[in-house]
Amino acid sequence: MVKRQLPNPSEIFELMKFKKFELDSRKRRLDSALTIEDLRTIAKRRTPAAAFDYTDGAAEGEISMERSVQAFEDIEFHPSILNDVSQVDTTTQILGGSSAMPFGIAPTGFTRLMQTEGEIAGASAAGAAGLPFTLSTLGTTSIEDVKKVNPNGRNWFQLYVMRQREISYGLVERAAAAGYDTLFFTVDTPIAGARLRDSRNGFSIPPQLSPKTVLNAIPRPWWWWDFLTTETLQFASLSETGGTVGELLNSAMDPSIDFDDLATIRKMWPGKLAIKGVQTVADARKLADLGVDAIVLSNHGGRQLDRAPVPFELLPSVAKEVGQDLEIIVDTGIRNGADIVASMALGADFALIGRAYLYGLMAGGREGVDRTIAILSEQVERTMKLLQVSNVSELNPSHVTQLRRFSRDGQLDGVETDAGTETP
């Protein structure tokens, strides 16, 4: 028989302690975010559709983006046992320097349109966390101002080679003079991809007001207040700021760029050189033979050629081919620290986050970016501990299996073929 007694009020209150109410609304909503998806939900609630969809969307049917996210979900981890993981070292050496985590912030355009703190929030948060920050040619904060807010951190610059080559050359010189240590030469944007969400939203710089735009903005007055009471939005590196996003990209990009342009930029740039937008093993091999320092496996977040290769799926083949010859960085589809750990295990030296960073920015400015970094960092460390790996360098292909939904010949994995066997 269970002996029963009247509850002691003091014991009840000892067991039931109420959480202190947080008066700071920004901190309250950010503290409630436990995942990048939580930050995305907050960002969507607080940001007008045109700005949010520019971040969240991709090209045409958005197939490449969806596949890239799905590829990280379709993995299986294989943890070790009985390894001491009371201390885990997440630091990584990349492009001649150190990073506190195996990821950094990717270049993003129009960033202050997402939230007015823009690249200032991203660079200062990255610097405080000991991570590299990459500024885009289409950034809305100047090369020099990013350096001011991140004077002791690692700043990288992403370059588009434009029709007017002198503009690009000038940006290279400015980035070198400001002390940026790495240049990302982007090769996957001869023209702009067909970003249909932007076209449907009439997305442009400056924003084009329509009845639909105004109605969508009514429940988001804080965004408009920030936008209208801060410095005028403009491209810090470009003089032309009118027209739709696609028109701007098409005027800035040049479909005639080739390996001669790469050679020219390489001669100009004194630091490390990474080629961003590599999507085949053959091109990775060619760039390794040319002696570049790193490649970024990227389909531009699915924002250029839809149905392009998924970088994470391409990673093992590229690592096998050129992993000893140059450093491999991967982006697109990363939403969890486990995605980053899986990338390191399959041969990447580093990862870049784009949308995940912008979701945090839209959710809460600089503090939101801090929250993005904190969430991913906690997930990286927890995943490593559960895999029982104490150092990033210990991660290897034995820790991860990629579970493919489709084989390369178009057959569904696990479905019987005409011969009565299963595809590998």
- Residues facing 156 on adjacent strands: 134, 182
399 among known catalytic residues: no
Maximum distance among all Cα pairs of the chain, rounded to whole angstroms: 88
CB 310 within 8 A of CB 68: yes
Query: CA 181, CA 171: separation in Å to the nearest integer?
Result: 14
Backbone angle region of 276, left / alpha / beta, with phi > 0 → left and psi within -120 to 50 → alpha = beta
Torsion (CA) 414, 415, 417, 419 in degrees, nearest 10: 60
- Going through 241-341 in order, the beta strands assigned E by DSSP cover 272-278, 294-297, 327-330
- The CA distances from residue 332 to 16, 31, 214, 316, 317, in Å, are 44, 26, 32, 16, 17
Query: CA 205, CA 359: separation in Å to the nearest integer?
Result: 20
List of residues 6+ apart from 217 with CB closer than 8 A = 48, 223, 224
Q: How far is CA 363 from the centre of its chain?
A: 16
- The CA distances from residue 224 to 14, 165, 228, in Å, are 46, 36, 6
- Rg of the chain (C-alpha set): 23
CB 293 within 8 A of CB 272: yes
CB 309 within 8 A of CB 333: no
Q: Residue 215 — φ and ψ, nearest 5°?
A: -60, -40
Catalytic residue among 197, 276, 300, 371: 300
Query: CA 135, CA 116: separation in Å to the nearest integer?
Result: 16
DSSP letters spanning 7-43: PPHHHHHHH-PPPPPP--HHHHHHHT--SHHHHHHHH
Query: CA 195, CA 185: separation in Å to the nearest integer?
Result: 22
Query: CA 26, CA 100: separation in Å to the nearest integer?
Result: 26
- Which element (helix H / strand E) includes 56? helix 49-56
Catalytic site positions: 300
